[in-house]
Structure 1
Amino acid sequence: MSEGLLFRLAAFPDGDQGGNPAGVWIGPELPDAATMQRIATEVGYSETAFVAPESGHQRIVRYYSPQAEVSFCGHATIAAAVVIGRREGEGRYRFSTMVGEVDAEAAQESGRFEAALVSVEPRHEVAPAALLEEALSLLGWRQEELDTRIPAVKAYAGAWHLVIAAGSDQRLASLDYDFAAMKAMMLRENLTTLQLVWRERADLFHSRNPFPVGGVVEDPATGAAAAALGGYLRDAGLLQGSRRIEIRQGEAMGRPSRLIVDIPASGGIRVTGSAIDIS
């Protein structure tokens, strides 16, 4: 096994609280798959990023949940970039992931490192009526409670997410679903999370992300889903004039998280956040 260092951080915190825990392993070369899986299971967070080599601007990165390898993880990417920034200073890095090349940048802001990722090219497709009906049934939501200005879609920026927009904050506030049935549906449809959102204003969204395929009821901060949402809003012409949006997530869990999404006219979506150590 390659010798490496293991870090534990919470990515996308709101100030000094909240965020989504991630493991970051850095070593001269990646361990074998069985070892990475064992480490991720022992860490126990929704994802752990494995990064090699230890220095340089080009890195290989793989992501593991406690149960299996995953194609891409936004919050673990932010955590990894913050760790690299602390070790090597501000700079831009390129991560070779299972879904393609992802650019990451680490910079100091008010004495703290924050990081940004630029996703692979996003895409989306209209959610099949049967899939939307099944998801709503599992959530206990009704069609008339949705925001018709943001139609339900399957959106991608490294992983697939089912985006469903609630018509009110009260609707988003209630989250109760059949865990096993939701997990089975998501595995069948190759979905990483459901991204349930409520648009408070043009540049502010609130989000809740059921994540049963990762073994948890709800994810407190989902960078890949944030990028997928940004790509969908742009490509469907739903931005309402703002090319920067803020996503508030994890609020109902007591883990408030803040994700900043910058949406260029074309190409990958930039997602920015900080990361704090977990003691």
Structure 2
Amino acid sequence: MNIDVQIVNAFIDGSQGGNPAGVVVDANALTAAQKLKVARQVGLSETAFVSASDTATIRLEFFTPTRQIAHCGHATVATFSLLRQLGIIDDGRHSKETVDGNRDILVADGMAFMEQRAPTFTSIEMASELGGRILASLGLGNGESLGVGAPCVVNTGNAFLLVPLPDERAVAELSPRLPLVESISDELDLIGYYVFSTDTRVKGRHAGARMFAPRFGIAEEAATGMAAGPLACYLHDRLGVAEREMLIEQGWLMQPPSPSVIRVELELADGKISRLMAGGYARVMSSLSVEL
């Protein structure tokens, strides 16, 4: 049996970069084991599988090369952008059914956005034993300066460890010790680390980040919608950034670079973030056939 997979770059910055995801438009007949086998052969950080849903526009499942995960921002944006380009859906409000419940989707103006929940914050005391191990996992010494704010686990549907650094150079020069990053990610039940500074390549944007998720077979990822959402919440709640719409750069500091930008729109109720929508543009790059 041959499975057709579309490769779609999500969160492209202008006409370049973005984060590639595999998308299987008709996965109704595939088992979980077959989906994992397809994802391994595709070899990207995530592959999305579309099937019929009784409760949402589509059922959407995400597989890394090593396991299934509940949500994936860039693969969601890739999928709904592809479905729009194929004429399967129209602009407007949609939804996805996932293993973790349903989420709202908005397709408009050539972009796709996915819903994330209100954030929860768990601060990390850097003088603690855990704080020391986090620094060591990033190749940083105990005396090295972090950026404004303190490291924090933020969860809007998936948990990420956010680590602020002083400037772009500090983020660019990181040499994380991936086995230690994986161990701490396991311990804290994280997708991975999102390391950032408020330096950006394009004026008017809010942060530039790198993402490391070796626990899920991802050494570094070019754009991570499920991490950019927590970062926007951190910038708003912990660093006092007043804007409700934020632009997060990612992928610029990878080798080779893959410039990406994620747009996050915060929704507030009584002064608190009640939910958010994270999204951007996507472009179909290629297709391939995987044999099962």
TM over 0.5, shorter chain: yes
Q: How does 1:187-202 map to 2 (within 5 A)?
A: 187-200=186-199
Which of 209-218 and 241-250 deviates more? 209-218
Question: What is residue 271 of structure 1 aligned with on the other side?
Answer: 278
Question: What is residue 145 of structure 1 aligned with on the other side?
Answer: 145
Find the aligned partners of 1:51 and 1:66 in 2 and give their Cα distance: 17
Find the aligned partners of 1:40 and 1:175 in 2 and give their Cα distance: 29
Question: What is residue 162 of structure 2 aligned with on the other side?
Answer: 163
Counterpart of 2:123 (choices 118, 123, 126) is 126
Find the aligned partners of 1:134 and 1:214 in 2 and give their Cα distance: 20
Question: What is residue 228 of structure 1 aligned with on the other side?
Answer: 230
Find the aligned partners of 1:277 and 1:54 in 2 and give their Cα distance: 24
Find the aligned partners of 1:217 and 1:57 in 2 and give their Cα distance: 33
Q: State the TM-score, normalizing by the size of structure 2.
A: 0.85
Find the aligned partners of 1:175 and 1:188 in 2 and give their Cα distance: 22
Find the aligned partners of 1:107 and 1:55 in 2 and give their Cα distance: 24
Q: How does 1:21-100 map to 2 (within 5 A)?
A: 21-27=20-26, 29=28, 31-53=30-52, 58-86=57-85, 87=87, 88-100=89-101
Structure 2 counterpart SS, 1:119:
strand
Which of 264-273 and 58-67 deviates more? 264-273
| CA gap 1:10/1:54 in 2 versus in 1, 3 angstroms | farther
Shift of 1:258: 0.6
Structure 2 counterpart SS, 1:200:
coil
Which of 186-195 and 127-136 deviates more? 127-136
Find the aligned partners of 1:106 and 1:186 in 2 and give their Cα distance: 32
Question: What is residue 263 of structure 2 aligned with on the other side?
Answer: 260
Question: What is residue 8 of structure 1 aligned with on the other side?
Answer: 7
Structure 2 counterpart SS, 1:229:
helix
For 1:224-275, what per-residue CA distance to the aligned partner results, in whole angstroms no more than 9, with x for missing partners? 00111223334x3533322221111000121000111111213221112111
Q: Which amino acid aligns with 1:190?
A: D
Shift of 1:204: 1.2
Shift of 1:203: 4.9
Q: How does 1:100-111 map to 2 (within 5 A)?
A: 100-108=101-109
Q: Which amino acid aligns with 2:229?
A: A
Structure 1 counterpart SS, 2:93:
strand
Q: Aligned residues: percent identity?
A: 27
| CA gap 1:239/1:99 in 2 versus in 1, 3 angstroms | farther
Structure 1 counterpart SS, 2:8:
strand
Shift of 1:67: 0.7
For 1:141-192, what per-residue CA distance to the aligned partner results, in whole angstroms no more than 9, with x for missing partners? 2454212x32211011221100010012221111212222221221222111
| CA gap 1:275/1:184 in 2 versus in 1, 3 angstroms | same
| CA gap 1:222/1:15 in 2 versus in 1, 3 angstroms | same
Question: What is residue 247 of structure 1 aligned with on the other side?
Answer: 248
Matched-pair contact (CA < 8 Å) for 1:206–1:248: yes
Query: Unpaired runs of 5+ in structure 2?
Result: 287-292
Find the aligned partners of 1:7 and 1:107 in 2 and give their Cα distance: 21
Find the aligned partners of 2:169 and 2:231 in 1 and give their Cα distance: 21
Q: Kindly report the root-mean-square deviation, in angstroms, between the aligned alpha carbons of the 2 structures.
A: 2.3
Matched-pair contact (CA < 8 Å) for 2:208–2:248: yes
Structure 2 counterpart SS, 1:245:
strand
Matched-pair contact (CA < 8 Å) for 2:82–2:284: no
Matched-pair contact (CA < 8 Å) for 1:123–1:232: no
Greater relative contact order structure (CA < 8 Å, 6+ sep): 2
Query: Unpaired runs of 5+ in structure 1?
Result: none
| CA gap 1:237/1:152 in 2 versus in 1, 3 angstroms | closer
Matched-pair contact (CA < 8 Å) for 1:6–1:23: yes
Matched-pair contact (CA < 8 Å) for 2:47–2:62: yes
